[in-house]
Structure 1
Amino acid sequence: MYTTSSLFLNTLAQVGITHAFVNWGSDHPALLEDLERQRVEKGETEPKIVTCPNEMVALSAAQGYTQVTGKPAAVIVHVDVGTQALAGAVHNVNRGRAPVLIYAGSSPFSAEGELKGSRNEWIHWMQDVHDQPAILRQYMRYTAQINSPANLPHLVRRALQIATSDPKGPVYLWGRREVMEQEIDEGLLKVPAPMLKWPSVEPCALSHSAAAIIAAALRQAVNPLLITSHAGRNTNVFTSLSALCSLIGMPVFVPCPAVLNTPFSYALYVGVGHLAPGTQTTLLKDADVILVLDVELPWIPMNKDSNGDHERPKEDARVFVIDGGDPLKENIGMYHVDAEMVCRADAEVALGQIVEAIQHSDSTEGVIIAESAIVQARTREMEKMHSEWVAKLDKAESFPTSLTSSIPAYTVPQVISALRRAVISGTPSGGAHTLMLNESISNYPLVWSHMRPEVLGGMIGSGGSSLGWALGASVGAFLGGKVAEKGPGKQGYELVASIVGDGTFLFGVPASAFWMARKYQTPFLTVILNNGGWKSPKLSMLGVYPSGHGSKVLGQQLTVGFGPDMPDYAQIAVAASGGWAWGRKVDASTISEGKNPKDALEEVIAEAVRVVVQEGRCAVIDCVLESI
């Protein structure tokens, strides 16, 4: 017996979806039945099923999978409540431009047994809402109801065609139980349904005039600046980016990155920030030509630095905005960047066009811009700025010179530098085949800076702002690493590691995430930067009331703290995995006699890396920082 659900699963397999992250409910009888039919007949299922005890973890895992593979994953949830339980992960896949296909069943529409699948449980009345896809429609690229098996393959392919076209993102399909339970002829499963003639939209190029205008502006610039946040989602883009920047001595600044856009060691890379006051690059105020490339937000107009000066471009700066899918940010309510030109164009294509236009001008005018005194002087200045940045990082990572000196608490630079060294020494490739997931929130820029990542595609964030992505994404990324044949021998990453805050760890539903990690053998390292609560809300308050009542008290008094009796985070993971995961807490104030804080920290992190890499188990390190 075959049903519409059989056809749905068959279509997912045909279009190349290898994994479905699922949370089952009363609307899925035919799906469960067909999966068992597949096991009986073939010994395995297509797609592979990853059971997820929590829906947000499921969607986060699917996002991690697609971030690594570049291919869509499926998520299956139940009716309105499962759709609602996807929670903030819906925001993340939207803002992170992750092509995920979400499917949810829906309550039956018949109640007298008229059709197979009619209402036979009380929840079928409770879960019947007027407009189920309205729960998340504004976050989706496409929503549609499955009304019949006849056009189901077309519907799935249309959804994926949209999901994989810029701006990429999630899509949502849903179907009533009677439709999904409907029996069909076996012949429908034998009809080919490939994506071959349903391609995603080809990358856009700049118009000839736009490329010429931008190239001319950059060629004549005295203080050019390139700002990007997520151009590196295409790991090939750095070739074009570095070709342009090296050609004219243009520095690169990265605000709020969602992915690694340039190797840390690139000499024209001058820093990363999170747009908090005082963290914008000082180059912005003097820049005369600014290329804003694949950025959600390049600057915040009202913010000021420590001198009281606005951190925004000068009035006569020439600003050019390029984005591959959504340059006007049409799905953001209020958004604007003062710009001379706004272009919808693929970053790699557009950068190549600009380089070509500059080189054409060189040959026409007989002047090679890269050899000019101004470009060479600017290049040396930017290289010096990069070196000074590195020196500041080195200083921040240092410990007291006395080996016996005690410190009140570890700092983020100390923890992250210890992690960096442990990854280099504890993995066969010296970290070259490691994937880092950064969801450290208030410590985002510090982690991006002090990890000093070099491998393009080797460090990612959610791309959104809803917390709880990293743990589930680590499971999905590990699975995706195998599918994408990452690492030596194409067997997957040597190490997957997540850096999170203590609040983020709890948002990630660790009980579900670490249970999944054990069940599906997806070991990953988790480093918790434990500052005793939610630092970001406190920082937000201080941004508005820097000298108010709240500025004088600790997080516990403000109700943003988790003390005085905080969870044992590492042991949550151990318990959730039935003792399989390894966990330790490291606190500079409780170091045993005879050890110094630096050695103690490095020993714990090195052992955690060893547990993951050599024993194939999850490891969690709870690193205690200064409390908020």
Structure 2
Amino acid sequence: MTETGALTSANTISVAEAYLSLLHDRGIDFLYVGAGTDTAPVIEAYSRAEEAGLRFPAPILAVHENLAVGMAHGYTMLTGRPQAVMLHVTVGAANAVCAIMNAARAQIPVLFTAGRTPLLEEGRLGARSHEVHWAQEMYDQGGMLRELVKWDYELRDGTNVEQIIDRALGISMTEPRGPVYLTLPREVLAQEKKGCRLRGSYLAATSPHPAPHAVTAVARALIEAKMPVFVCTNTGANPATVALLQEIANRFGIGVAENKPRYMCFPSDHPLHLGFDMASVFREADALVFLDCDVPWIPALFQPNEDTFIAQVGPDPLFGNYPVRSFRSDVAITASSQSFLEALIPALAEAGGEPRQSVRHAAAASQSRHMRQAVALREQGDRAKGGPITKLFLSRCLQEVKSEDAIIVNEYPAMREQMAFNQPGTFFQLPSSGGLGWGMPAALGVQQAAPDKVVIAVLGDGAYLFANPAACHQAADMLRLPLLTVIFNNESWDAVQKAAQGMYANGHADQQLKKRGHAPISSLKPLPDFEKYVEASGGYGERVTERDQLIPALLRALHAVRHEKRQALLNVMGV
């Protein structure tokens, strides 16, 4: 929203009403609210809205802060449109720090707001009226989030609320996108404000475009290479990049790999899809272009060959808000992936990239076939071994039952190599920050944005607990969101155990894991019957313990969400 629209006005009488009118006018669909004493002016505004003919974002009551921010994250992740959150002063904002870090690292624009403890002890409408108004105040409320947001400010007077909202949204939507933080004192929201201007727009800066000489250098390196590869992590956040990568692969024979992808970046069935095993890709590649990859590889595990050409591309290709990040590169290009790929296509053609397309295509297609054969062998080995349900088996079963347009929101268990995604916007993965409890709230936001689609949240048992599941199931019931939640329940922190094993090979933790089945500080036993959580909120729940039970259980759960239009949960016991 960057063009100036026709000016109209809203018949407001308070800053709260003006604030909400401006949000709606600027394209905000929902205000996710964790209510408190500071939301009194907002409640009064919503109560008068119909009578006054005012249009506000639809209010979504969230009974936990992680739920509020996670739903906004999920809705924006699918639609590309930023949403607004309002939480309760310092304590609410503090509860949301993990969710804001996820949004920041995923470059998700969110207008994050929190009330502020009333400024005054008496003398004005909205002044302090409760004991907590002294204890909840901090010297620097914004400080707890300042490192994670692009901008923070306090609305000090209602006179310039329009300018402040437009600046907040413009900064949030300027690449690299991310959350912004605005604190809202109760007295300011309660101030009188007769009327506000509506124009349906705010100013965000245009996307960064690549330097022509850098694009030319990358194009030449790619066509001179025997095995050039694009590596994607977050490009699928912009669905337009999927078609551009397909055009480049088809016209110039360049393969595409997905490195811990958090979106669907490239069609699984494309013959030049090189998979997800970066060690295998790096062994063969002699030119690598990393698109929107914050961690292109892990130096302690494996690295590209020393003579491999490397380019890093993104709106902030050096990820300047990461304190330490030193991956080598021959060129770093500041550009959105879309603008870079659009510039690269004619540069590849001009540099003579099409005549030898068949040679590069053959090399990449051979690598792709080897990758698919290895994936098939792993699946066959798992099937032959049998026994308890594994993540691989769960992933294959999900692939078998999901429709082509179903949306998977994954917080750990689903294995991308065992699943196929060919439509943009059908897969989302936990951000690299790894703040647990993201998956289920984000999936609820996705379901809200795509009410006619099947949305499946695939979670580990720990991730489910961190999501404050009672709050999530209550929201799904209240908002009539028929989400399917599939929990892979191995009754342990699997990632914690593997970290200890990886750091101390054959160490005491590894020996204890082999002897007892779990290492210290990793067993979650005893866990509750998760399937009963969803039943308490009117949903369908089922526990699955055997392999032959899984497909029938998934079909029953899908029937509940598709036809009964109610939420469902499968508690899948595995190893």
* Structure 1 SS opposite 2:282: coil
1:421 aligns with 2:400: yes
CA distance in structure 1 between the partners assigned to 2:384 and 2:532 by the alignment: 28
Aligned match of 1:98: 108
1:141 aligns with 2:145: no
Aligned match of 1:260: 264
Aligned match of 1:88: 98
Shift of 1:394: 4.3
Aligned match of 1:58: 68
CA distance in structure 1 between the partners assigned to 2:149 and 2:46 by the alignment: 27
Does the 8 A contact of 2:24 with 2:55 survive in 1? no
* Structure 2 SS opposite 1:353: helix
Shift of 1:88: 1.2
Shift of 1:349: 2.1
Aligned match of 2:5: none
Which amino acid is 1:106 matched to? R
Change (3 A) 1:222 1:76: same
Q: 578, 586, 598: which one pairs with 2:544?
A: 586
Change (3 A) 1:460 1:396: farther
CA distance in structure 2 between the partners assigned to 1:263 and 1:396 by the alignment: 25
Pick which of 457-466 and 25-34 moved more: 457-466
Alignment of 1:568-587 (within 5 A): 568-575=529-536, 577=537, 580-587=538-545
Does the 8 A contact of 1:437 with 1:470 survive in 2? yes
Task: State the identity as a percent.
Answer: 25
Change (3 A) 1:574 1:224: same
CA distance in structure 1 between the partners assigned to 2:565 and 2:337 by the alignment: 38
Aligned match of 2:559: 610
Aligned match of 1:72: 82
1:435 aligns with 2:394: no
CA distance in structure 1 between the partners assigned to 2:381 and 2:275 by the alignment: 15
Shift of 1:90: 1.1
5+ residue gaps in structure 1?
Answer: 274-279, 304-310, 401-406, 424-430, 482-491, 589-596
Aligned match of 1:488: none
Which amino acid is 2:527 matched to? M
* Structure 2 SS opposite 1:270: coil
Does the 8 A contact of 1:570 with 1:622 survive in 2? yes
Aligned match of 1:369: 356
Aligned match of 2:7: none
Shift of 1:618: 0.8
Change (3 A) 1:376 1:292: closer
Aligned match of 1:30: 41
Which amino acid is 2:395 matched to? I
Which amino acid is 1:568 matched to? D
CA distance in structure 2 between the partners assigned to 1:541 and 1:610 by the alignment: 41
* Structure 2 SS opposite 1:118: coil
Aligned match of 1:487: none
5+ residue gaps in structure 2?
Answer: 1-11
CA distance in structure 2 between the partners assigned to 1:380 and 1:315 by the alignment: 24
Alignment of 1:162-201 (within 5 A): 162-185=171-194, 188-189=195-196, 191-195=197-201, 198-201=202-205
Does the 8 A contact of 2:279 with 2:303 survive in 1? no
Aligned match of 2:240: 236
CA distance in structure 2 between the partners assigned to 1:604 and 1:516 by the alignment: 24
Shift of 1:362: 2.3
Does the 8 A contact of 2:274 with 2:281 survive in 1? no
CA distance in structure 2 between the partners assigned to 1:226 and 1:312 by the alignment: 15
1:282 aligns with 2:280: yes
Aligned match of 2:134: 125
1:205 aligns with 2:190: no
* Structure 2 SS opposite 1:291: strand
Pick which of 92-101 and 376-385 moved more: 376-385
Change (3 A) 1:135 1:376: closer
* Structure 1 SS opposite 2:543: strand
Change (3 A) 1:217 1:87: same
Alignment of 1:219-618 (within 5 A): 219-273=223-277, 280-303=278-301, 311-323=302-314, 325-362=315-352, 368-371=355-358, 374-392=359-377, 394-396=379-381, 398=383, 407-423=386-402, 431-440=403-412, 443=413, 446=415, 448-463=416-431, 464-481=433-450, 492-554=451-513, 556=518, 558-563=520-525, 565-575=526-536, 577=537, 580-588=538-546, 597-598=547-548, 600-618=549-567
* Structure 2 SS opposite 1:296: coil
Pick which of 200-209 and 468-477 moved more: 200-209
CA distance in structure 1 between the partners assigned to 2:72 and 2:153 by the alignment: 20
CA distance in structure 2 between the partners assigned to 1:216 and 1:614 by the alignment: 54
Shift of 1:140: 0.4
TM-score by length of 1: 0.86
Aligned match of 1:486: none
* Structure 2 SS opposite 1:322: strand
CA distance in structure 1 between the partners assigned to 2:535 and 2:310 by the alignment: 51
Aligned match of 2:9: none
CA distance in structure 1 between the partners assigned to 2:88 and 2:128 by the alignment: 15
1:454-478 residue CA offsets vs partner (Å, 9 max, x unmatched): 2111111232310111111122111
Q: 117, 132, 149: which one pairs with 1:107?
A: 117
TM-score by length of 2: 0.94
1:567-596 residue CA offsets vs partner (Å, 9 max, x unmatched): 111112222x1xx111111112xxxxxxxx
* Structure 1 SS opposite 2:281: coil
CA distance in structure 1 between the partners assigned to 2:193 and 2:365 by the alignment: 70
Shift of 1:49: 0.7
Q: How many residues align?
A: 560
Aligned match of 1:216: 220
Aligned match of 2:8: none
1:281-323 residue CA offsets vs partner (Å, 9 max, x unmatched): 31303422111111111111111xxxxxxx2112222111111
CA distance in structure 2 between the partners assigned to 1:387 and 1:539 by the alignment: 26
